[in-house]
Chain A
């Protein structure tokens, strides 16, 4: 299977001198295309920092990340933006929706930037995330789960090969969280997408094809899981 993401000796240091904090210390890993990869670890282990490197939200201090065939280490700001627009979709714990736009408009805002047939693409992803009938509501009128679905749809509408999800169920109850995980899993099962998910919830690891454990900025374990169960079968 083709490799979607390769991290080679990725280091990330914040601050300088005595105040310097080394968040990643030589992370090296590969994530094949069409997998759900879960990054696990305790607080401050470097999970989100690693996700940020893969999403080109930050540049590594040392080493390189190659995602969707793009080497991210030396991208300038414009190239990073272009990469994020074409190659990755983000899903955040706190949804970060624009409160003045309806669900459909939040999705369409991104769709407008990535080509024509905006309405058709919006319809498709709205259906995909089961938001049909709720799309003209504003975020404040939606439940947490619905808002996260909008967030997923917003990430999907660009049709990116890689989806990066940072604690996507962190603010949700179990039932809603399960629905979101099912949705993410379906995206992988029905297409060639790669989903990288950061979580501190060890139960969620079971639905992943690959589990990457981090501690103090270093990879402590990478495990492949054949035929992981559906999220609905999880007990968490």
Chain B
């Protein structure tokens, strides 16, 4: 080992605490990268394996009949097309009624597309046409197993089916009812697979006909998507949903996207901070070793060798950081994949070794260390040996601080306060690095915390400002004034009104969009509209414009496949709602529009049909919700009561994941800030030890000195915080934009309390990072230090 290596080893030992801070920051960056990148790749692989094994439909076209299979199979790139039917209607299990879905097999006999993964019992059997296979989420939620009975509300009343088995379906890995209802509360939705003949016994207007397609593996997905969409539009299809937009898959992809984004953004912030911590430390080391550098140069050590020597500090720090972060990150990625796929019941959990993860991790880690050490290493080689050997430090020029220059009255501050202000400007690069480091840490914390806030604000808006009903009551009888009054008269019910919900498709110049048309009273108290519900025309979620190209003032055609007709209405406005992109119309206007369309359709009959309409009810304050719901259930003709607040409660309960996430990010962000502030203060103290010792010699107490040091670093932290808050807000907003779609309109909302807590957390971290530095100052040997010129 060369003597330079020995020197480096001892230099590391001398600054071990500062280098430890660098290792940890690089390690955290690499850990975050490796865990999120691996989780992202593993999740993609897991979904891909499941989708391939179960032949998940590449595009699902609704509202077309069996003949469309021939059209689809004629399109270049489509390898298979199969027809099936499905129906949404009340189901009953162990006395519990909910709106479920029965799905027939694709094609004749066993499905080749959207195959089921039977996890218990057996598949559908042609010898038992009343048998069914229960989708795994429904089986779990309603405790239905093989051999249990499930009832479906058919044309002639409840039809009994025996569960032959339980299965996982690629379509329902995330059990979304449709693209507008991504999060149906588990007790309000379930899917059951039945023989096609079973669907003959249910009302025709509950049935949706579909054609499922699979593409050649060599086909260009976007091209085939485009051609099939064109063909389905020509065939009058209500919708053509490509796999990427299929409700379950799209919901799952949000998480995959989240991991993908996290694998870039957060590690980049950490590595940047690590780079700055390394830069601060290396600059100090090179500065303090001026005379050594001069001596080495004078002794014949080449500039290149010297540069390599100091670069090797950054490289070594990076290697140690990588050695800590990479294995831990890959382990965390593996654990996260397992926990995630297990929680969601993804049958194929693929936790593979991705060579790209260590390759990228090592490359970025090394790059961080090398770049951070490069400038100080270069400055070492540029030192004049003669000057450097003398060990003379260039005179540090003093000047008034910026605040004093801007606000002259500040010049009258006590001198120790001025000293604090001027201390900040003594090493501008270091000040900027530290303030930026604090800002980066604030960004990490604020983005994480802001996501939690945003979701809570979103839920608050959705359930306190928009969806105002407590329950939707499904009935077996026609919904008219009498039935509505019947519900309204129940003790504890404050208001009740009919709410129509029809599957709908809007056609516009850019394409067709499948959604739901909601019919309400003009003076509805069940749904919040900024300017009320107009008496004529349709208002829509604002994403409809981007999806279809329709604009306010356009006359739009709304296909209503379950009614078997379409209506023409003027689009009179858009509403900004966080969840879903729905259409809204006044019930009277809807009835008239239906009457004006197909002569065979009676508008008022459609609106009164319990298949299309429920009674929405709001409860008065101070009553027991469960008791009111129980009373409603006892009412004649009531099939089931859907708790509209269940989703809010469900999502509220699932917030615990976010609390953990925010906690981890707070810890990581805090560690990052600590590392940077600690390094800055350590360097400052080392550089100013003579001044401090001299002040102590002149009778300045340790308490006063601690206040001076703390004041300077707290101000530095406070300079970084607003930039961090701004940066965090911008980055968070960008994150949310990428999450936003027609299903979610996410805006980054941060509560004032979060801003305050983030800032306070940083100040606490800054305070903690002061402790070791103050201990160093306390331990300074005044007698020794005042005799030496500190380098």
Contact = CB atoms under 8 A, between A and B. Distances in A.
Interface of A: 48-49, 52, 55, 57-58, 77-78, 81-86, 89-90, 92-94, 96, 98-102, 105, 108-110, 112-114, 138-141, 154-155, 158, 166
B698 A90 contact: yes
A92 B415 contact: no
A98 B698 contact: no
B787 A166 contact: yes
A36 B215 CA distance: 102
Contacts of A140: 395-398
Interface in B265-287: none
Interface string B657-699: 0000000000000000000000000000000001101111111
A139 B787 contact: no
A13 B185 CA distance: 79
B416 A55 contact: no
B442 to A, nearest CB: 27
10 contacts: A49-B783, A58-B783, A78-B701, A84-B699, A98-B419, A101-B419, A109-B415, A109-B416, A113-B699, A139-B395
B699 A86 contact: yes
B691 A98 contact: yes
A57 B694 CA distance: 10
Contacts of A108: 415
Contacts of A81: 696, 699-702
Nearest to B693: A96
Nearest to B420: A100
Contacts of A82: 699
Given A109-B419, A166-B787, A99 B397 contact: yes
B698 A155 contact: yes
A59 to B, nearest CB: 10
A53 to B, nearest CB: 9
B108 to A, nearest CB: 87
A105 B420 CA distance: 13
Contacts of B398: 99-102, 138-141
A84 B399 contact: no
How many residues of B sit at the interface, in one of the four size bands? 20 to 34
Contact of B698 (A93, A139, A154): A154
B783 A85 contact: no
A100 B699 contact: no
A145 B276 CA distance: 39
Contacts of B781: 58
Interface string B776-791: 0000011100111100
B77 interface: no
Nearest to A51: B783
Contacts of A101: 398, 415, 418-419, 422
Contacts of B701: 78, 81, 85
Nearest to B397: A140
A164 B415 CA distance: 24
Contacts of B423: 100
Contacts of B415: 101, 105, 108-109, 112
Given A101-B415, A113-B699, A140-B396, A92 B422 contact: no
Nearest to A167: B787
Contacts of A84: 696-699
Interface string B701-712: 110100000000
Contacts of A105: 415, 418-419
Nearest to B782: A57
Contacts of B418: 101, 105
Nearest to A118: B415
B700 A92 contact: no
Given A48-B787, A108-B415, A109-B419, A96 B694 contact: yes
A171 B179 CA distance: 82
B625 interface: no
A96 B690 contact: yes
Contacts of B416: 109, 112
Please indicate which of the listed interface residues B399, B414, B698 has the most CB atoms of chain A within 10 Å of its own CB. Answer: B698
Interface string B145-186: 000000000000000000000000000000000000000000
A65 to B, nearest CB: 14
B784 to A, nearest CB: 9
Contacts of B422: 100-101
Interface in B392-427: 395-399, 414-416, 418-419, 422-423, 425-426
A220 B588 CA distance: 117
Nearest to A89: B698
B617 to A, nearest CB: 71
Contacts of A166: 786-787
B414 A94 contact: no
A90 B695 CA distance: 10
Please indicate which of the listed interface residues A52, A81, A92, A154 has the most CB atoms of chain B within 10 Å of its own CB. Answer: A81
A44 to B, nearest CB: 13
A224 to B, nearest CB: 28
Contacts of A55: 697
